[in-house]
Amino acid sequence: MRTVRLIIAYDGTAFFGWQFQTGMRTVQQTMAEAIRAASGEDVTVVSAGRTDTGVHALAQVVSFVTESALSNVSWRRALNHYLPLDVTVLEVADAPDGFHAIVDSRGKRYRYLINDGPRRDVFARHYAWRVWQSLDVAAMDGAGEGLLGTHDFAAFQNAGSSRQTTVRTVRDVLVERRRFAEGDRVVVEIEADGFLYNMVRNIVGTLVEVGKAKRPVDWPATILAGRNRRQAGMCAPAHGLYLLQVFYDL
């Protein structure tokens, strides 16, 4: 028996999230089917983050236990052969015995893309939130600073996933405008030791209110202190969100 660690990327558009759901196309089910096709094994596939419907991943970490003698090179080749075109295995490596993609994670970094340009980009409709107003990126970045550190983030959690605690440590909030091949995008990146349900999307929705000059720069920090979800901004659409990186002490 050995534990295998994968880094995978996927386009979440046509998936009903990561977690297995009867009758639904999910990333977890798709990965399990590819592993079965490659090795004949039925395994439990664990990911570092249970991304929601429409959410993408640039570097999702997946682990499973196998009895297969396939080499890591063969695993990658076989899985990419059996996987559909909206999922790819980027890296395969042996992990220490007992490694668990969720439990052993020391933090994650997410990226959110916003298209606030003057034209509607039909090719980005599944990959960036369309906001019909030019955003004040400097104000959004300043507002994000008020969320840094260890706090109770209950104000930025949606109902639907119980947690032992809503305290999290946010290590970085970055908001900037970047040039991509398809045009300028407002990029929001958030890194923390862990995230509550829809926490990133709720923070982004709140920062956008600041970027539209509807709220002052210190508003997100005030919302944080109040711990009332109803006082925060909207939950940004899922399709602009990307799991960017998962951190481990390996």
> For the chain, what percent of residues have pLDDT higher than 70?
98
Q: Which positions are catalytic?
A: 52
Length of the chain: 250
What is the amino acid identity at position 159?
A
| Identical fold between 2-95 and 106-248 | yes
Determine the Cα–Cα distance for residues 182 and 247; give it in Å rounded to an integer. 29
- Please report the pLDDT score of residue 225 as a whole number: 94
Determine the Cα–Cα distance for residues 38 and 173; give it in Å rounded to an integer. 40
Chain center to CA of 219: 24
**Residue 196 confidence class, pLDDT cut points 50, 70, 90:** very high
Instruction: Please give the class, per CATH, of domain 106-248.
Output: alpha beta
- Please report the pLDDT score of residue 129 as a whole number: 97
Specify the fold of 2-95: Alpha-Beta Plaits (3.30.70)
Q: Which DSSP state fits 215?
A: S
**Residue 161 confidence class, pLDDT cut points 50, 70, 90:** low
Q: For all residues of the chain together, what is the average pLDDT?
A: 95
Region 43-48: what's the mean pLDDT? 95
Determine the Cα–Cα distance for residues 8 and 220; give it in Å rounded to an integer. 33
**Residue 120 confidence class, pLDDT cut points 50, 70, 90:** confident
| More confident: 239 or 163 | 239
Region 136-143: what's the mean pLDDT? 98
**Residue 180 confidence class, pLDDT cut points 50, 70, 90:** confident
Determine the Cα–Cα distance for residues 193 and 59; give it in Å rounded to an integer. 17
Domain ranges of the chain: 2-95, 106-248
Six token digits for residue 38 = 């490659």
Report strand pairing: 56-66 vs 149-152. Answer: unpaired
Q: Which residues pair with 11 in a beta bridge?
A: none
Region 106-114: what's the mean pLDDT? 97
Report strand pairing: 56-66 vs 241-248. Answer: parallel
Region 75-91: what's the mean pLDDT? 98
